[in-house]
Amino acid sequence: MSGQQIPHFLQDVIFHGKFKLLKALTPEENTRCQHGLYFQDGQRHVDYVLTFHVKKHSRHATHLHGDNALARSLRRGPWSRHRQGERTRDASSSPSSGDPSCHGETLSAHEDQKSLKREEFEGKLRDVGLELEIDEDSKIPGVGFVKIHAPWNVLCREAELMKLKMPTKRVYEVKPSSGVMEKISALVSKALEPLRPHVEEPQHKHIKHLSHTFSREKQHLFDLSDRDYFFDSKTRSSIVFEILKRTKCKAKYSMGISSLLGSGVYTAAYPLHDGDINEESAESNDRKLLYEEWANYSVFYKYQPIGLVRKYFGEKIGLYFAWLGLYTQMLIPASLVGVIVFLYGCATVDDNIPSVEICHPRNNITMCPQCDRVCSYWRLSSACGTARASHLFDNPATVFFSIFMALWAAMFMEHWKRRQMRLNYEWDLTGFEDEEDHPRAEYELQVMQKSLNKHQNSRHKESKLTCQDRFPAYMTNIVMMLLMIGVTFAIVFGVILYRISTKAALHMSSNPVTRNNVQLTVKTTAAIINLVVILILDEVYGAVARWLTVLEVPKTDKSFEERLIFKTFILKFFNAFTPIIYIAFFRGRLVGRPGSYLYVFESYRMEECAHGGCLMELCIQLSITMLGKQLIQNNLFEIGIPKLKKLIRYIRTKRGAFQEEERQKKLQRYETDHFLEPFAGLTPEYMEMIIQFGFVTLFVASFPLAPLFALLNNIIEIRLDAKKFVTELRRPVAARAKDIGIWYNILRGVAKVAVIINAFVISFTSDFIPRMVYQYMYSPDGTMHGFVNHTLSYFNVSHFQSGREPLDPQQLGYHVEMCRYKDYREPPWSSTPYEISKEFWAVLAVRLAFVIIFQNVVMLMNDIVDWLIPDIPKDISLQIHKEKILLVELFMKEEQGKSQSFEGKTPAGHKVNCSRNNNNSAPQTHTQQHSNSF
């Protein structure tokens, strides 16, 4: 059935009552109509869908109203131009227009205004060539659908305007190199063949189409034998979305689909998924293939079909999953080394002299009380378990692991740059440059309001918002960001008070088991409280960051996204890492000494680190926060919240509206997708991975198992995100991108900061430097024997402040005159009692020297890695150069063809004339000639 016959055919069906003609549709066309992927004619593909609110009618009225839905949509079709004053929901066309049951209630003024805006907007869409079909009688009560189709001429025009690169008919062979490394790579690739997904490659991997920016004047260069599939579904939907964004109404402040969605004129806008995934009878489509070979936990061990992900969702989402896959792959060697470091700590714990000295049964060192009054003296041997556990994470291997992870981060960044360039080549993005987006609707609204307010009587109008216009928003941003960071600090301080007060309360317990496990109880419960607060504040900070970004009124969507990402990252980074930074660098250093402790509110004594150091507590806080965020926030929330929202949307839509037989009817594709969760962007996905990258790199010296837990989480995360994109979310609009944008700069920043933080963790948080200083400067025999005694200072218990001494000084069974505490201070019998000793300054000097040396050495090694590894793989560089040469040859042949065609049609006496005015004199000849050349 030709395109010209379709209007007359459907007019006969609707207006002349020839309903039997519907049976003339082929079974395939009927199936297309039933699935909702095509218009009622079964031939025009639905490229985009808009939804709007429809006034609810009674069952009888809805039936009568629906009998004419297709008729109304046909009258608004491309063969009958929409008139400005005509109402889209034309009551006069309905035979039931006088029925009070159908029109007993009139539309409110607000709804009437929305209807007028829809009429105008849909008319504008028809004017630019789009074809629309409206369904007000859907199976979802109260929801109407506008199905949009972009015909061939519109697709060609917009592809040229958007500068889309499309494959030409010219193909060339990508010859693999024949070096030793390439042969090894081929063997490895063959060995890994079982790990590759069963996805059909669109073409042979050694054959590539030469791509060129699409042009209507050069259509003969492209293979247009099947126009229905030349532009795939993601390209068609992105073209329609581009038209929707720039189409403006004459109505006040209506600036494209974004403002219409914001004002409620339309309730949703989305492209359709390809088809069903669960039914066995469902036709094979990319979505079903992605569900089977990607969004499935049973294929967790396989590589991702990145090419198919890009084909279905676009380059931007494809790059995210390619980055996530590479990051997960790079975590494998980091996890192996981390496990080896941990096992080394386990294997050497019995040979660790300091912990052996602490755990020795004859060790009778009496320690000073850990809190005032209710705490009493205690033996150092009771900290045996903590000392042995600390060695698992505080040993010489952790220094090596910190250096390794710094180099690992540099290798990861370089490997990603090379992978990104390879994908740019494979996806024909080598010459792609980000063009400036259309101004956002909110920005244009602000500019228009400014022009109306300040220049009503002047022809001159402001074309942009200045810094002066945004100054109040900037000040609000600064104040609110500082306030939110202050809230984070206040909560950390609150948790500190909780630990101090809980420790004192538990020491007063009459239960000996409770008293013996005070440290473990306080540390664990405080870490869990921190985790809960972090999860809550993450959601709050995300909403605050979006609100602050909206206040700034960024001009473009890209600017909006980058500002939102920056604010969200700053707030969530402080939220996640402030408790950890406090434990690593501040806890135990603002304590004072016995007899002169530092107090908060004159009653709460600042908390100390356990004798094994704060590294063990840092490890507990880090592990609980990291694992809790991954299990609860990244996994349970991502699974549960979309399903809950989908259920709520489904219940609300069906509440008291469906009859039982209607519920059993199969929904159309556009109706099924309406129940899915809208796509909210990639910012949450990237953000959780960036925070995880921080956990893996920033404090890895205190938790070498962090890469392992990140690896296990990401194996699940990839399939979870895939399942969410394929089954739980509406199909996103495909967006082109050649890189991951601002996220790469954030990654580099985190990697640089990680070097500095790990240097400080090794130097100040762990006992690595004090051990080295003792062994090489103070040890009489060059070993670690006597290190524990060397790090403990003396205190005369008679020097306690009045009211601060223990209530039960005889708890150990003997009278105590001297107690010990961990610090480098002079003894009470010295001429300068309790003053800082020279050992403290020696250790401090070495610590600072280590930080400087470690930082510079690792930074230098990172720069060497960056210099040694080229950003562009050599084979890709050669192929890009080859493509440029082939393009030049292609256009040279085209020009020669034009010249020969012109000379053959020009009289001999006129051959000297310039041919530029007759370049298009023989398009058919050009087309045939170049078709043969391919």
Residue 844 has pLDDT above 80, yes or no: yes
Distance between CA atoms of 750 and 695, rounded to whole angstroms? 10
Band of residue 285 on the pLDDT scale cut at 50, 70, 90: confident
Section 660-670 average pLDDT: 62
Q: Which of 488, 686, 711, 503 is nearest to 580 (CA)?
A: 488
Distance between CA atoms of 38 and 153, rounded to whole angstroms? 18
Predicted pLDDT of residue 265: 87
Q: Are 692 and 630 in contact (CB under 8 A)?
A: yes
Q: Are 351 and 772 in contact (CB under 8 A)?
A: no
Q: Are 367 and 821 in contact (CB under 8 A)?
A: yes
Backbone φ and ψ of 630, nearest 5°: -70, -45
Question: Which residue has 């109509």 as its token pair?
Answer: 33
Section 370-394 average pLDDT: 84
DSSP string, 710-748: HHHHHHHHHHHHHHIIIIIBPPPPP---SS-THHHHHHH
CA distances to 173, 517, 712 from 205, in Å = 9, 63, 32
Please give the structure tokens belonging to residue 170. Answer: 């010219």
Distance between CA atoms of 398 and 407, rounded to whole angstroms? 14
Predicted pLDDT of residue 204: 57
Question: Which residue has 């202050």 as its token pair?
Answer: 486
Q: What is the pLDDT of residues 707-741, one digit of tens each?
A: 999 999 999 889 989 998 998 899 999 988 888 98
Backbone φ and ψ of 381, nearest 5°: -65, -20
Distance between CA atoms of 608 and 46, rounded to whole angstroms? 67
Predicted pLDDT of residue 205: 64
Predicted pLDDT of residue 670: 87
Q: Collapsing DSSP states into helix, strand and coil, what is residue 50?
A: strand
Q: What is the DSSP letter of 822?
A: E
Distance between CA atoms of 842 and 852, rounded to whole angstroms? 16
Tell me the pairing of strands 207-213 and 165-173: antiparallel
Q: What is the pLDDT of residues 761-804, one digit of tens each?
A: 889 888 889 999 999 999 888 888 889 889 999 999 988 888 88
For 532, half-sphere exposure in the C-beta direction (CA atoms, 13 angstrom radius) is 6
Predicted pLDDT of residue 79: 38
Distance between CA atoms of 254 and 117, rounded to whole angstroms? 8
Q: Are 522 and 502 in contact (CB under 8 A)?
A: yes
Q: Which of 137, 144, 149 is nearest to 69 (CA)?
A: 137
- With left for phi above 0 and alpha for psi between -120 and 50, is residue 850 left, alpha or beta? alpha
Residue 323 has pLDDT above 50, yes or no: yes
Predicted pLDDT of residue 649: 66
Q: Collapsing DSSP states into helix, strand and coil, what is residue 819?
A: strand
Residue 388 has pLDDT above 60, yes or no: yes
DSSP string, 212-254: EE--GGGGGGB--S-HHHHS-HHHHHHHHHHHHHH---SSTT-
Question: Higher model confidence: residue 159 or residue 255?
Answer: 159
Please give the structure tokens belonging to residue 117. Answer: 């805006």
Mean pLDDT of the chain: 79
Predicted pLDDT of residue 901: 64
Distance between CA atoms of 723 and 727, rounded to whole angstroms? 6
Residue 156 has pLDDT above 50, yes or no: yes
Angle made by CA atoms 88, 93, 97, in degrees to the nearest 5: 105
Other CB atoms within 10 A of residue 639 CB: 14
Name the range with the highest mean pLDDT among 76-90, 258-272, 499-513: 258-272
* CA 325 distance to own-chain centroid: 13
Q: Are 144 and 189 in contact (CB under 8 A)?
A: no
CA distances to 140, 288, 865 from 285, in Å = 26, 5, 43
For 618, half-sphere exposure in the C-beta direction (CA atoms, 13 angstrom radius) is 35
CA distances to 69, 240, 654 from 561, in Å = 40, 22, 35
**Radius of gyration of the CA atoms of the chain, in A:** 35
Q: In residues, how long is the chain?
A: 934
Distance between CA atoms of 6 and 208, rounded to whole angstroms? 38
* H-helix or E-strand spanning residue 144: strand 143-149
Section 173-190 average pLDDT: 73
Distance between CA atoms of 296 and 301, rounded to whole angstroms? 11
Q: What is the pLDDT of residues 803-834, one digit of tens each?
A: 888 888 888 888 888 999 988 999 999 989 99
Please give the structure tokens belonging to residue 398. Answer: 């952790």
* CA 165 distance to own-chain centroid: 27
Looking at this protein, which amino acid is placed at residue 564?
L
Q: Are 441 and 121 in contact (CB under 8 A)?
A: no
Section 595-616 average pLDDT: 78
State what percent of residues in the chain have pLDDT above 90: 26
Predicted pLDDT of residue 865: 87
Distance between CA atoms of 243 and 888, rounded to whole angstroms? 33
Predicted pLDDT of residue 253: 52
**Quick check: pTM over 0.85?**
no
Range in 226-230, 342-346, 403-407, 509-513 with the lowest mean pLDDT: 509-513
Looking at this protein, which amino acid is placed at residue 223?
D
Residue 104 has pLDDT above 50, yes or no: no
Which residue blocks in 247-364 are alpha helix, DSSP H? 257-262, 286-293, 306-313, 315-348, 353-359
Predicted pLDDT of residue 753: 92
Range in 20-24, 605-609, 868-872 with the lowest mean pLDDT: 20-24
Distance between CA atoms of 369 and 374, rounded to whole angstroms? 9
